[in-house]
Amino acid sequence: MTEHALRLDALLDRFDAVRHADPHTYRWAHRHDGGEHPFHLVFSSLIHGNEVGSLAGLVAVVEDLAAGRIRFGGRATFFIGNPEAGRANVRFLDADLNRVFVPDLAGSAHEIKRALEIMPMLEEADAYFDFHQTIKPARQPFYIFPWSEAAWLWVRAVQGAEVWVTRNPGQAFASGVMCADEYVRERGVPGITLELGEKGWSQEAADTTYRVITEALKLADDEATGARTLRDAAMAVPDVHFYDTMHRQAFSDPAMALVDGVGNFEPVTEGAVLSRVSSPELKAACTGAVLFPKYPPRDADGNALDPRPKEIYRVVAELDQHPLELWGSGAE
């Protein structure tokens, strides 16, 4: 066994030692019921198998809840999305789990069966937090999902990241349900994705996950008991900075190649050359920051192997107006 698999198994064993749930529940889920109020928070890690950074934080919260070191009066579900892909240290085994949350889902692929196990838990959420990591390094953690005022209060109050890459919620609707967080938002419930930096083991990612989950539990208790509203808690701390996608560079030619070392949230100015010498020229379409730079495997001639990603990178830029003014509450 690899060191990676041993480390993962040690965390899964710790989770197993304290988890409890009724027998029909998904095998890698823990259910907590504080018995004081019905508010139900759902948290997930490892929806993508090689994004292991958040797992130690989620497992530590479950242990601390089980041991009474932290308390929560409401209901909470914690699940580990794809430990099978995690052991292999790959994003997925058969299909990208975070692309299959569609109505009338059917099939025998590992991730399709998994999505069918996860969906009933997502359907119970009053708010959902999904912890991910990026393929390339990131200058800072960031939230990424369409605007909604209800989600904004959580995002701001839990202080998981200083930036939120968001978009007009009207645009998101047309794309249909595919990600786990979208499946939750489809019901009008906040579904929040937090990207914690480059994929892999990370104390920082684990610490942020622990802090965000425990803060969310506290906020939900305060709201439910009337001690403090979520809105008041959010307004008491600084707002996040909002970014929107300004340009998506199509990976239209397999010869396109980014210069080495471009990470997430790398600042760029309009016209900056991002391509490698002797590959088709790529210039930043506007001033902002690069997101999701792709470095796919290539053949001997330097052409990206199929299937290559649809986009080679995006450029995001800070919004000069608040999304609340631009798009309203984001509710239907």
**Which residues of this protein are in contact with Zn ion, per CB under 5 A?**
48, 51, 132
Determine the Cα–Cα distance for residues 46 and 108; give it in Å rounded to an integer.
Answer: 20
C-alpha to C-alpha distance for 332 and 300, rounded to whole angstroms: 51
Cβ of residue 302: shortest distance to Zn ion, in angstroms?
A: 28
Give 85 or 258: the residue with its C-beta nearer to Zn ion: 85
14: phi then psi, degrees, rounded to nearest 5: -65, -40
Residue 135 or 157: the one with the smaller Cβ distance to Zn ion is 135
Whichever of 132 and 294 has its CB closer to Zn ion, that residue is 132
Least distance CB 258 / Zn ion (angstroms): 20
Nearer to Zn ion by Cβ, of 51 and 221: the residue is: 51
Question: Beta strand 241-250 with 311-318: parallel, antiparallel or unpaired?
Answer: antiparallel
Smallest separation, CB 51 to Zn ion (Å): 5
CB of 205 to Zn ion, least distance (A): 12
Name the residue whose CB lies closest to Zn ion. Answer: 132
- The residue to which tokens 């605007």 are assigned: 147
Please report how close the Cβ of residue 98 comes to Zn ion at its closest, in angstroms: 6
DSSP lists the bridge partners of residue 143 as 164, 194
User: What's the number of CA atoms in the CB half-sphere (13 Å) around residue 272?
Assistant: 16
β-strand pairing of 241-250 with 163-166: parallel
CA distance 187 to 280: 43
